[in-house]
Amino acid sequence: MSAIVKVEDLTYIYNQGMPDETVALDHVSFEIEEGEFVGVIGSTGCGKSTLITHFNGINKPTSGKVYIAGEDMWADPKDIRRFRFMAGLVFQYPEYQLFEETVYKDIAFGPANMGLSAEEIDRRVQRAAAFCGIDSCFLQRSPFELSGGQKRRVAIAGVLAMEPRLLVLDEPAAGLDPEGRDMILGQIREYHKQTGSTIVLVSHSMEDIAKYADRVLVMNAGRIAMYDATDKVFARAPELLELGLSVPEVTKIFLRLREMGLDIDTDVYTVKYAVKTILAARAAAKEGM
């Protein structure tokens, strides 16, 4: 596998040279392999959003480099537009960015700016709408007639229609009810499975990160505190708690069981894995009797 994202000694300073100068990212280096599903977590103000806006050139490094598919994004600043089509970014509450007369036109906006043919634009709109669970009967309706959850799906479909190699989502399920949350994240997982695209998901929900991510990047004060496979990160639950982060509720239960004297693994981060761990502990106990 090759790296779709390579961040090399990245530093970003807000208001450099001013009295309120703030170092948002401090010599950050890591790689994301093509096809991975990476979760990004960290407390408020840790640099998560600043980091991901470097992936499509919204922010330019103060120092250091960002490579997308092996290319230095800022080697030629005039070429930055091309990278913005390679890395699709979905902001928090993306439905506030809807503006076209119809759902179809909103989804088609990105592909149209890529200079694609009408036939290719239509193919992409239909495919993206299907991925996001948007029925064709909605395509000619105004997006402003839709519910909040439906608008969210239209906004995400607009990014998917550009077919980016890297899809970056900043709290895509924020503010939705549990059913809407599961629908949005389930559709993103299905998109990942079917297309093989690389996904970067920023979320405050440890349950969501545990359920969907293959690897987890933990930010703290503008630096990387951890970056590893999901099970290995959540196995360090006490350290996450020290950083002011939460852990999945099921992990908290297993930490408590260990405190109560039960000899049981605590690197448990999903209910499915919890059941497997309990059954294994029960079998081991029977063998020892």
Q: What's the CA gap between 68 and 50, in Å, rounded? A: 17
pLDDT of residue 85: 92
Structure confidence by residue, pLDDT tens digits, 195-234:
999 999 999 888 899 999 999 999 999 999 999 999 899 8
Q: Taken in order 49, 72, 189, 89, is the CA torsion positive or negative?
A: positive
When pLDDT is cut at 50, 70 and 90, the band that residue 289 belongs to is: low
Torsion, Cα 85 87 91 97, to 10 degrees, reads 10
pLDDT of residue 288: 64
Q: What's the CA gap between 215 and 237, in Å, rounded? A: 15
Domain segments of the chain as ranges: 248-289
Q: Which long-range contacts (CB under 8 A, 24 or more apart) does 111-115 make?
A: 111/161, 111/162, 114/85, 114/162
User: From its phi and psi, is residue 265 left (phi > 0), alpha (psi between -120 and 50) or beta?
Assistant: beta
Identity of residue 37: F
Which is more confidently placed, 284 or 152? 152
27 within 8 A of 9, measured Cβ to Cβ = yes
Q: What's the CA gap between 166 and 160, in Å, rounded? A: 10
Q: What's the CA gap between 111 and 42, in Å, rounded? A: 33
pLDDT of residue 87: 95
Give the whole-number percent of the chain exceeding pLDDT 90. 70
Whether 258 shows a pLDDT value over 70: the answer reads yes
pLDDT of residue 54: 97
